[in-house]
Amino acid sequence: MTDTRSLLATLLSQAAEDAGATLSTDEARDLLTEPPRREMGDIAFPCFVLSKQLRTSPAAIATTLCDAIAGAVSDAPALGGVNAAGPYLNFTVDSAYHAAGVLRAATDEGYGRGSEGEGQTIGIDFSSPNIAKPFGIGHLRSTSIGNALGNIFRMLGYRVVGINHLGDWGTQFGKLMFAYESWGNEEALVKDPITHLYDLYVRFHKAAEEDETLLDEGRAWFKRLEDGDEQATAYWQRFRDLSLREFERIYERLGVSFEHYWGEAYYNDMLAPLVEDLDRAGLTEVSDGAVVVDMSELDMPPCLIVKADGATLYATRDLAAARYRYEQLQFKQFLYIVGAEQTVHFRQVFEVLRRMNYSWAEDCHHIPFGRIHGISTRKGTLVFLDDILNKGKERVAEIMADKPFSDQERELITEQVTVGAVLFYDLSRNRIKNYDFDWDLMLRGLRPGESGQTGPYLQYTHTRLASLERQYIETHGELPDPAAVDYALLGEDAARALITHIEKFPELLRHAARDYEPAQVSRYAIEIAELFNSFYSGGHKVVSEDRALSAARITLANATRRTLATSLGLLGVPLPARM
RNA sequence: GCGCUCGUAGCUCAGCUGGAUAGAGCAUCGGACUUCUAAUCCGACGGUCGCAGGUUCGAAUCCUGCCGAGCGCGCCA
């Protein structure tokens, strides 16, 4: 517990100074860790750093400090004892005192909420699908990671502004228009816009392999669009609207939303002024007819600003977007949730911003992530995320076939389990890693006798916890007041381990935010579920005749359930009422 | 060729930013349902942390080189 650690820091600092060393309470507090095994104690203090100052072995220092503070430790109600173990000083905390502090906090509504972000804005550019292509598996990661990070930062008090940087501009639009003019079909477009647009896109590229002049046709159409041509603009509006409607359906399915749909096209009017400013600042030069910012001193290829035909590029729009976003949001940080393959692009963009002397350039961060493999693709065909989810849903439904749910409830649960499985799997490894899309791994634990570190496992654990609360209420009435519970009844190892873990939740959120790493929350959720299931299956009946014991245990269960639910909520994993 | 990222148990992954015997899940083997959802739990087996050097009292963690994999390298996004 926080004040317990502060108390220890004060004691240690004092004792160290009496022994002739310099150690501030803050330093002492930072050094506190946990012993590798529970039997050794609850909090540990390593004496290595003092060894240089005192020119003695760490072990000897541990013994000295142990003697020095033993009295104070035994007087403190929060502490159980202290002993020296080699170079470490191990403390045990008073179980009941500790449990009371942790569980009173964790049964409160806003457990884990922080205030460090108050008054600060974080912008997140995430998901950002390309209109000319279907929403495929490749967009899943940006969407899930961006959403989770946004949730985490909101939890810490930040104002989070999610921006969907829709790929609704660029040469690929020109290609699409040319393709529609050549082979398009109004009927097919209305019936299934995404598929039709995608078919056109594929057909274009196939045809372009035979006849390279088509690429010029595409570029020409895009140039028309940029010049405000009426026909091109009408196509653009149409394609965009139809695609967006489709995307919104998927976002709803995934439980994701955005503050703004500021696509690439949104910044069109800001491009010319940007290029002027770059010129005026003397950052640009002409190379092979294109306007570029040279990056050779950083061993990077030049950043392309304007193509030889006068049209703009991705980087141009990202630069204009960055300026606009800062004007609008005055962000403290801006995060670009984009795949690792675009690392160089963002380095270039941030470098240009830096050369333009924007102090906030250093607050822009590319948050890269690895790729998903293993989706069987017929050659040249992307697989729609929607179809993938539906396929998974069939598997889930099959496994759940013998569960006694109504059709309506079954439909809801299978959807929640499927989405939860995919999102959790995606967020369960450090984001930089590549992974294979594999239903067997995502759904492991769904079948009786199986188990696994999966979304369904967590959802199941949560439903059990909720079920316990219902049964407690049936048996004993309302849930107990956490202030009036006898926490000495939670002294078992399994309970103490769980309490210690619940205590770490607020700190965990800060780490996850610091590292932009939702997987830390995922792992935490797995751990808390495993600790609870271990307690639950270890012969500790929660709801029993024993009123006081039941009250203590249901308070622990409630704190666990809330913490687990908050964690899963941050990750976007839905919580079925029953499973 | 150059650059970035990754390499930990048969498989999928952690390892709190150098510290006490490297941890989980899956798989394998052996256990636990007349008891709050066994979609669970308990135990066993399993690792020269890619290789070789270096820094340090101490390295999976930091540095260098090599090997392997993924990605990127001017008018796509």
pLDDT at A399: 87
Cα–chain center distance at A460:
21
pLDDT digits (tens, 9 = 90+) for A5-26: 889 999 999 999 888 888 888 8
Looking at residue A90, the DSSP 8-state letter turns out to be E
Please list, in sequence order, all residues whose beta carbon lies within 8 angstroms of the beta carbon of residue A293, skipping any fewer than 6 positions away: A278, A283, A284, A285, A302, A303, A305, A348, A352, A355
Reading the block at residue A355, the tokens are 């050369």
Q: Where are the beta strands (DSSP E) in A346-504?
A: 364-367, 372-373, 435-436
pLDDT of residue A378: 46
What's the rounded mean pLDDT across residues A309-332? 94
| 8 A C-beta contact, residue A152 and residue A513 | yes
Predicted confidence (pLDDT) per residue in A24-81, tens digit: 888 888 888 888 888 888 999 999 888 878 888 888 889 999 999 999 999 999 999 9
| DSSP strands (E only) in A142-185 | 159-163
pLDDT of residue A206: 84
Give the pLDDT score at A2.
55
> Which A residues between 398 and 427 have a beta carbon under 7 A from any strand B atom?
399-400, 403, 417
**A300 CA from B3 C1′ (Å):** 9
Of the pLDDT bands very low, low, confident and very high (cuts 50, 70, 90), residue A488 is: very high
Q: If we measure between CA atoms, which residue out of A247, A256, A249 comes closest to residue A151?
A: A256
pLDDT at A380 over 80: no
Residue A513 CB burial class (10 angstroms; 0-12, 13-18, ≥19): buried
**Mean pLDDT of all residues belonging to chain A:** 92
The answer to whether the beta carbons of residues A402 and A338 sit under 8 Å apart is no
For tokens 């350039």, name the residue: A361
Cβ distance A135 to A129 under 8 Å?
yes
> Per-residue confidence at A379, pLDDT binned at 50, 70, 90?
very low
Alpha-carbon A217 to chain mean position: 41
CA angle A519, A438, A391 (to 5 degrees): 115
pLDDT tens digits, A150-202: 999 999 999 999 999 999 988 888 889 999 999 999 999 988 888 888 888 88
**Two tokens, residue A74:** 């035994």
pLDDT at A557 (0 to 100): 97
C-alpha A374/C-alpha A378 separation (Å) is 12
The more confidently predicted of residues A390 and A208 is A390
Q: pLDDT, tens digit, for every residue of A461-479?
A: 999 999 999 999 999 999 9
pLDDT confidence of A297, banded at 50, 70, 90?
Answer: confident
pLDDT band at residue A1 using 50, 70 and 90 as cut-offs: very low
Order of strands across the sheet that contains A284-287: A284-287, A290-293, A303-306
Residue A314, CB, strand B, below 7 Å: yes
Nucleotide nearest to A290 (CA to C1'): B75
C-alpha atoms less than 13 angstroms from C-alpha of A292 in its C-beta half-sphere:
15
pLDDT value at position A473? 96
Q: How many residues does chain A have?
A: 579
Q: Which residues of chain A (511-550) touch nucleic strand B at CB < 7 A?
A: 511, 514-515, 519-520, 523, 526, 529-530, 533-534, 536-538, 540-544
Give the mean pLDDT of A343-358: 96
Q: Could you read off the pLDDT of A74-112 as tens digits, one per residue? A: 999 999 999 998 889 999 999 999 999 999 999 999 999
User: Which nucleotide is nearest, taking the CA of residue A396 and each C1'?
Assistant: B39
Report d(CA A107, CA A105) in Å as an integer. Answer: 6
Domains of chain A, first to last: 3-93 (3.30.1360.70), 171-251 (no CATH), 386-571 (1.10.730.10)
Structure tokens at A291: 């306007």
Percentage of chain A beyond pLDDT 70 is 98
List bases in chain B with any atom under 7 Å of a protein Cβ: 2-6, 12-17, 19-21, 23-27, 32-33, 35-42, 57-58, 70-77
Q: Is A227 helix (H, G, I), strand (E, B) or coil?
A: coil
Interface residues 46-105 of A with strand B (CB < 7 Å)? 46, 48-49, 85-86, 88, 90
Would strands A159-163 and A284-287 be described as parallel, antiparallel, or unpaired? unpaired
- Residue A223 has a pLDDT of 85
